[in-house]
Amino acid sequence: NFSRVTEFILLGLSNTREMQVVFFTTFFLAYLMVLLGNLLIIVTVTTDPKLSSPMYFLLCNLSFIDICCTSVTFPRMLVDLLSQRKVIAFEDCIAQLFFLHFVGASEMFLLTVMTYDRYTAICKPLHYMVIMSRQVCWVLVSACWAGGFLHSIVQTLLTIQLPFCGPNIIDSYFCDVPPVIRLACTDIYVTEWLMASNSGLISLVCFLVLVTSYMFILVTVRVRFTEGHWKALSTCASHVMVITIFFVPCIFIYLRPFSTFPSDKHICVIYTVFPPVMNPLIYTLRNDEVKVSMWKLWKRC
């Protein structure tokens, strides 16, 4: 008899009560840092006319995406850490999967655009304001969101067309494509290859483009070695660290179909928690202009 699954059970990160309390405290503080830090960046950039360059416009969009990305998984995870039975409805699971890939892919594309912005500013400084005009920035950001939506809708359609009629236990703390499609009551050989060619290749291509761009920046800095270029190199090094933490786990999770490991859910913590927490620190504490604007905003308040 065919019976459609109406809910999924999330196993979470740990079964012990003590570890659940530790995880709840840690992730609650991390979520507060993400919200407060990124909201502070958005308010600072939008209220200070001096921060009107393309770099800060893109940074403001990155902060908004980080808030959206963490809000897709963190609230549900925090509630489940305090619950005895971690149950999520089928429709809520699909919605979480859709929005996670929507904002996640949009962030990948936006990070690529931000790297292009840094490449233009360092390697072609005289043409920077012409190449990265406000109109161009709006087009690039809109393309990032459109690309994220297109990627996510493909992932979602491939998932909801599968029959779910038996197992409903997800060994993770949120609904994602790899653990969900493995619960389908059918052969998912073709689906897994389509998923890998979508999510996996997008992650890999964006990461390679980012690394290549920073290599060009490094070559330019070595040729035109000045104090300003040394500061730019220091900033780029921190950016490379953040994108490595974000992209490498994504490539590991999404570019290998037909296999799963118990540690996958802990690897997911790396790219869902650390980059949103680190972005405000990397892009503000290392930027004197933003710190001065924040101090002015504090004095006005």
- How high is the pLDDT of residue 285? 66
- Name the E strands within 11-124: 87-89
Asked if CATH classification 1.10.3720.10 holds for the domain at 7-300, the reply, yes or no, is no
Distance (Å, whole) CA 16 – CA 274 = 23
Pair 217, 118: CB distance under 8 Å:
yes
Q: Residue 1 has what pLDDT?
A: 45
Q: Can you give the pLDDT at residue 294?
A: 80
Taking the chain (301 residues) in consecutive chunks of 10 residues, what is each chunk's mean pLDDT? 76 86 93 92 86 87 93 92 87 94 94 89 85 92 96 92 87 89 87 86 91 83 60 69 88 80 83 86 74 80 75
All structural domains of the chain with their residue ranges: 7-300
E strand residue ranges, 91-181: 169-170
Whether pTM exceeds 0.85: yes
Give the pLDDT confidence score for residue 152 in this predicted structure: 94
pLDDT at 108: 93
State the pLDDT at residue 125.
82
Q: Residue 12: which region, alpha, beta or left (left: phi > 0; alpha: psi -120 to 50)? A: left
